[in-house]
Structure formats: structure tokens, C-alpha cells
Amino acid sequence: MMDTEGALARCGELVALARRKGADAADAVAHAGSSQNVTVRLGKLEDVERSESEEIGLRVFVGERSASISTSDFAAEGLALLAQRAVEMARAAPRDPFAGLAPPEALFAGEMPDLDLFDESEPAPEDLRETAAAAEAAALAVAGVTNSDGGTAGYGRAVAALVTSNGFARGYASSWHSLSASVIAGGGGDKQTDHASRSVRHRSDLPGADEIGRLAGERAVARMFPTSLPSGRMPVVFDPRVGGGLFGHLIGAMSAAAIARKASFLLGREDGQLFDPSIRLLETPLAKRGLRSRAFDGEGVPCTDRALVEGGRIGGWLANVAAARQLGIGLTGHASRGGGGAPGITVANVHLAPGTVTPAALMEDIEDGFYVTSLFGQGVNPVTGDYSRGATGFRIRGGEIAGPVAEITIAGNLPDMYRALIPADDLVFERALNVPTLRIDGMTVAGQ
């Protein structure tokens, strides 16, 4: 796998080739990665996967016309052919007055911050197998667990580089370690499956195999013998591992590209009070060892810490170059870039600031409610904000978690849900988007 310097060199060569072939401007992005995953099921080696990939993408501009193309062929003649085809495609493309490179004054400059994204240690396959087996064994040891989908341990590393024809050339390396276990509890007509998993940048931050396995087993056993709920309007409490999805919908609606297409439920609400004034949603792209940390975005614009929501109000749209020009706003450092195609829009590490009450206190006055631990289905309308998802979890009776429930549907409208949202104080940083336990009153629940 090529290193950062090699990726930058290949990108620079490709940009220079594109300019010689007739492009007025160009940028190139390279991605390289390798990974290995070992799965153990019922104590026996189930699967060993190893993959390596290298890809380079070129975007060229000829006047107001542009085209993107990518390849995994890094040979000199292959890159020359790629540049030629990209310029020919651009000349035949429709005009787009908004597409282009970020201006030089908007590009990241100076020293790269030390985000500590790369772990030098690389576990041997035997180490991964032992770790996966230990996680599965811990899960199988939980009373009530009867079968296993396996324990999996993995490691990977990646390189990313971006070079533009107006002077930007930066790259970085990263790594990840992961561990998961998935098991089955019960038997006969009542079998329930659940899992636990973690992914981190450094192996030293990974929880122990016993912890991951035990949590997977306990979650599966807790789901046994589910019942239903009476239909009606009631408080719904979201477990942290699913509550982040509510803010994923918000972030999608804050995309300047969605606003430009008039495909966002936030249109007309940008200056309003969307949440309670105590709500703060924060983005920290420069967090050390963050799962989505980065110093610059997919167009070379610097990333900075910012409040996506402050005082209950959104802090503006999230933009790449094309969307910013279309809306007449500034660049925000949120461009994302794959190998081919135009840049998209994405965020880095995001978390909701915790509230002031414990999860127990958050639920203590709920006479009858629903605690959600998993969601399924895609019933969210990004234009209207209408929300309807299948869900499983637990009933709340008299302020306490009661028995498991399944085959439930919860529904509402996202702006209404946001206004009613109350966070607990149990924020833990385990994902790229982290939230504490969340309560939303007045949601429609369909059960029996």
C-alpha cells in the first residue's frame, strides 16, 4: 500500500497531466487502504478477510464545464489516458457556473495539527483470532445465550491525499481497530439476537474482549419474550446507540446542497427556535483520535470546531464550494470527496452536549412509555420532516424499565420532536456522532 508521500506524488502527477491535456483547473484525490478481519464462531475460526485497495480520482474544469473520473491503475500510461478522457468528458459536459476549486485564500495553510490518528502497532492475525474468540466466549457465558453469530476483531489503515492545481497538496494516514460480538438468546419460538461493537483509532482505547462480549450477551438476553405496547401518544426515550440518528437527519437537512434543491425540512426555519435554548450540538473535527477527525475537507478548506446548534438555533448551512456559491454563503469546511464524482457534504465528529439529569431521573415521571434500543426502516421524509420508524426496546412503567417490546412503530415530525427533546447527562464518546439518552414526549406509538 502506498504511503502519504507516494499518494501526494501520484496526485501531483495527475493534476499536471490534466493541465497539459487542456484543463483550466484540476484536483486529484487518492485513497489507499488495507484491512484484516478475523471471525470466530462457536470457538472455531469462521472467516479471515484481508483486503488492500488503491484509487485515485481526477476532477477537471474546462471553462464552466467539469468532469470527474477515477481509476485503480497507477501506471504512467494509465494516468495519462485518465487525464485525456477526463478533459474530453469535461468539454462535452453541460455548463455549471457554481462548480470549481476553492480559492487559494480559502485553502488550509500552515502546519498540520497532530490529530494522533495513526497507531503504529499492527496486530498479527493470531492476536485478532484470540481477541475475537475471547469476545465470543464472554458473550456465550451469559446465562440465556444459546448460539452465536460470531466474534470479530479487525484492524485497518488508510492514506488520503488531495492536490489541487491552485497550490494545495496535503495528505495524512490513519488507522482503526475494531471488535464486535453478536449472539442469540433463547430457543424455540423465541430467539433474540443482539450485538456489541466498538471501533477506535488506537488499540489501547479498545475495550476489553470480556466487556464487549458480556454486553452483547446481556443485550440479547434482555430482549427475550417481547410483548407489544398499546397504541397512542406517549413519551419515547432513545438509547444513546440509536438517538444519534435524530441528529443525523438534522445534519442532512443543514446541507447547503439540500437547501439549494429546496429539499430540506429546515427551509424557513433557519432563524427560528428549533430546540430548547439549552441544546448545543457541537462539531470537533480537530479532536485527537476522533473517528472522523480531519484538518481539511475534501476541497482543501480547513476544518474548525463549531456549534451546529447553539442556544437551540442552528448555526447556518454546511457547504462545499458548489453549494456555497449557489447560496451566496461562505465555505464551512464540510466538503467530502470520494474517488469519483463531485464533492458531497459531510461533518466530522459531532456530539450533543449532555443535560443535567440522569437517565433514571429523566424517566421517573413516565407512567407509561417506550424505551427504544433499535430502529429499522427508512420512513423519514427529508422535505417535510415526517418521521416513522419501526422500533424495538422496552416498556417504561411507573418510571422504570419494564419488559421487552417488539414490532412497534413510532412516528412524529422532526421539528416537533426537536422542540420536545430533553437530553440526560450520560454522554459517552464512542461513535462519530454521540448523544446521551434522549426523551421526547408526545410521539405516536403504534403497537397492539
**Which residue, 299, 309, 308, is CA-closest to 348?**
308
Mark whether 80 and 168 lie in a shared domain: yes
Mean pLDDT (whole number) for 62-91: 95
Mark whether 274 and 420 lie in a shared domain: yes
User: Total structural domains in the chain?
Assistant: 2
Mean pLDDT (whole number) for 322-329: 97
Q: Distances from the Cα of 55 to the Cαs of 60, 70, 291, 301, in angstroms?
A: 17, 7, 21, 22
Confirm if 183 and 194 have CB atoms less than 8 A apart.
yes
Mark whether 236 and 126 lie in a shared domain: no
Mean pLDDT (whole number) for 226-233: 95
State how beta strands 350-352 and 433-434 pair. Answer: parallel
Mark whether 297 and 342 lie in a shared domain: yes
Mean pLDDT (whole number) for 171-194: 95
Mark whether 328 and 312 lie in a shared domain: yes
Last residue of a domain, one of 175, 194, 221: 221
Q: Is 259's pLDDT higher than 80?
A: yes
Last residue of a domain, one of 221, 247, 264: 221
Predicted TM-score (pTM) of the model is: 0.95
CATH number at residue 45: 3.30.2290.10
Mark whether 200 and 104 lie in a shared domain: yes
Sorted by sequence, the CB contacts under 8 Å of residue 18 that are 6+ apart come out as 26, 28, 58, 60, 83, 86, 87, 165
Mark whether 243 and 359 lie in a shared domain: yes
Mean pLDDT (whole number) for 334-359: 95
What integer pLDDT is reported at residue 233 of this predicted model?
A: 97
Q: Is 448's pLDDT higher than 80?
A: no
Over residues 387-426, the pLDDT tens digits come to: 999 999 999 999 999 999 999 999 999 999 999 999 999 9
Q: DSSP letter for 255, please.
A: B
What integer pLDDT is reported at residue 381 of this predicted model?
A: 97
Mark whether 436 and 305 lie in a shared domain: yes
Over residues 347-379, the pLDDT tens digits come to: 999 999 999 999 999 999 999 999 999 999 888
Give me the residues paired with residue 66 across strands. Answer: 61
Mark whether 116 and 202 lie in a shared domain: yes
Q: Is 342's pLDDT higher than 80?
A: yes
Mean pLDDT (whole number) for 163-168: 97
Helix, coil or strand: residue 362:
helix
Mark whether 198 and 339 lie in a shared domain: no
What integer pLDDT is reported at residue 189 of this predicted model?
A: 80
Mean pLDDT (whole number) for 228-250: 97
Over residues 26-44, the pLDDT tens digits come to: 999 999 999 999 999 999 9
* DSSP class per residue in 403-416: EEEEEEEEEEEHHH
The pLDDT confidence band at residue 188, using thresholds 50, 70 and 90, is confident
Helix, coil or strand: residue 327:
helix
Last residue of a domain, one of 191, 221, 251: 221
Mark whether 232 and 190 lie in a shared domain: no
Looking at per-residue confidence, does 1 or 281 come out higher?
281
What integer pLDDT is reported at residue 198 of this predicted model?
A: 98
Structural domain for 24, as ranges = 4-221
Mark whether 230 and 127 lie in a shared domain: no
Q: Is 340's pLDDT higher than 90?
A: no
What integer pLDDT is reported at residue 341 of this predicted model?
A: 84
